[in-house]
Amino acid sequence: METKGENTGRPTDPARFFTSKTGSNEQIPGCCSIDFTVAVVLPAGGSGERTGLSTPKQFCTFLSRPLISYTIQAFERVAWIENIVIVVAKDSLDLMVNIVQQFSHKKVKVVPGGSTRHRSIFNGLQAFQGRGEGSALKKPKVVIIHDAVRPFVEEDFLLKIAIAAKEQGASGAIRPLVSTVIATTSEGYLDHSLERAKYRASEMPQGFLYDIIYQAYVQCSEADFEFGTECLHLVLQYCGTNARLVEGPPTLWKVTYKRDLFAAESIIKETLSQTACVVTGVCEESTRLACALQKTLRAQDMHVDVISTSLRSSGTFISKDWNFIHVTVKSTCLTDLGELVKTFKESDHAVLYPVVLILVHLDVLEQSSTSERMAALGGIRDLATEAKRINILLYGILLNHIKDAEQWEEAVEHLSQITTALIKDRNPALTGQLLWV
């Protein structure tokens, strides 16, 4: 299965926060210097036994997406990578194809894997030779091999790996050892320990001139296919190519255990929660609240923009955020909120990540009762149910208008805390609830 084309309508990728400051549009230095073709092979045929889960870890989901989709996106957002080959177990082919289609991944070809890691990688490389299912992809100058369960690889490091592979023939990521390595006797006693400073952990990604890694696999033995794990060793043994080793960032870590899935989800939530957009009407009360909310949220290190409803109709404001706070005093606020949900749906903005949409209704009618206030927003649960189907998490907050300056400041601070918690937790169980400040 293969998809092509660019998806220029996508919102900004949260992964940018690993390589640039929030809100920055600066390009990574050197990206434009790539003058050779680069492709990626992602072996994803493992069973993930160490997670203790029945589902292979690459298909485990958090924030409504499987882990492998995040890894694909990490490469998909790199403009100079032309093709991404995903190698999965034969019984997972249909599942992988559905994932590619559901999340509109581009430049992707799915091929069946083999019985071992090396056999699967070789199957992925053969996709560029016209072997296996479907037509051949364009043979790249450099191919990057990466684990499907390392979703946080950074573009600037991929650039280093690709250039080193082009110049040297092979390159690989390394990291300092965390623990001391020891050898044991057959009886289970300490034999000796290694001097940790002299050794490094071999990590992914690894890069190769395509012709070199392909020829290494053509020549390698059945024992290599069956028991080997290190691609860098194959090109050294069969092609005489000694890889250049590049020390990588801490974000290269691999999802291995169940707890790693929770850590990955936490990282994604943290990056998603760094920006927000406050949508407000033109009346004095809502504008005042929006500006006060912007100030308190910025004090919590969140980048917050305020726009008026006059700009909302264009839909262009949704291009960079996954968190929106709709401040209103209108009794018809649910109608406006419904239009906002429709805008998200039409733009496919929530395909990759759940969008948080918080309605903050400022009640300026001093004589209205609590039952009247709640009734005015009684339809929020139904709207939230509809929104959740398209990955939008809708929450409601009812705030009384307070004339006393000190009490007003306390209320805004409380509102800010609730808003921050909803954005960071992204708890689908709370959608449709109407909180009262």
CA distance 149 to 298: 34
User: Residue range 86-111: average pLDDT?
Assistant: 95
pLDDT in the model for residue 386: 93
* pLDDT tens figures, 33-61: 689 999 999 999 876 565 667 789 999 99
pLDDT bin (cut points 50, 70, 90) of residue 91 is: very high
Domain-wise residue ranges, the chain? 14-267, 273-436
* pLDDT tens figures, 259-276: 999 999 999 999 999 999
Contact residues for 365 (Cβ-Cβ < 8 A; gap 6+): none
What phi-psi label fits residue 133: left (phi over 0), alpha (psi between -120 and 50 degrees) or beta?
Answer: beta
User: Residue range 165-170: average pLDDT?
Assistant: 98
pLDDT bin (cut points 50, 70, 90) of residue 433 is: confident
The CATH class for the domain spanning 14-267 reads alpha beta
Among 234, 298, 255, which residue's Cα sits nearest to residue 67?
Answer: 255
**What does the mean pLDDT of the chain come to?**
86
The C-alpha angle 15, 56, 259, rounded to 5 degrees, equals 60
* pLDDT tens figures, 314-335: 556 677 789 999 998 877 778 8
What is the share, in percent, of the chain residues with pLDDT greater than 90?
64
User: Residue range 149-170: average pLDDT?
Assistant: 97
CA distance 237 to 216: 8
More confident residue, 365 or 140: 140
The pLDDT of residue 83 is above 90: yes
Give 273-436's CATH code, choosing from 3.50.50.60, 3.40.50.360, 2.40.110.10, 3.30.70.960.
3.40.50.360
User: Residue range 408-434: average pLDDT?
Assistant: 93
Query: What does the block give as tokens for 43?
Result: 């072996």
What is the share, in percent, of the chain residues with pLDDT greater than 70?
85
CA distance 204 to 187: 34
* pLDDT tens figures, 219-273: 999 999 999 889 999 999 999 999 999 999 999 999 989 899 999 999 999 999 9
Among 105-114, 149-158, 341-350, the minimum mean pLDDT is found in: 341-350
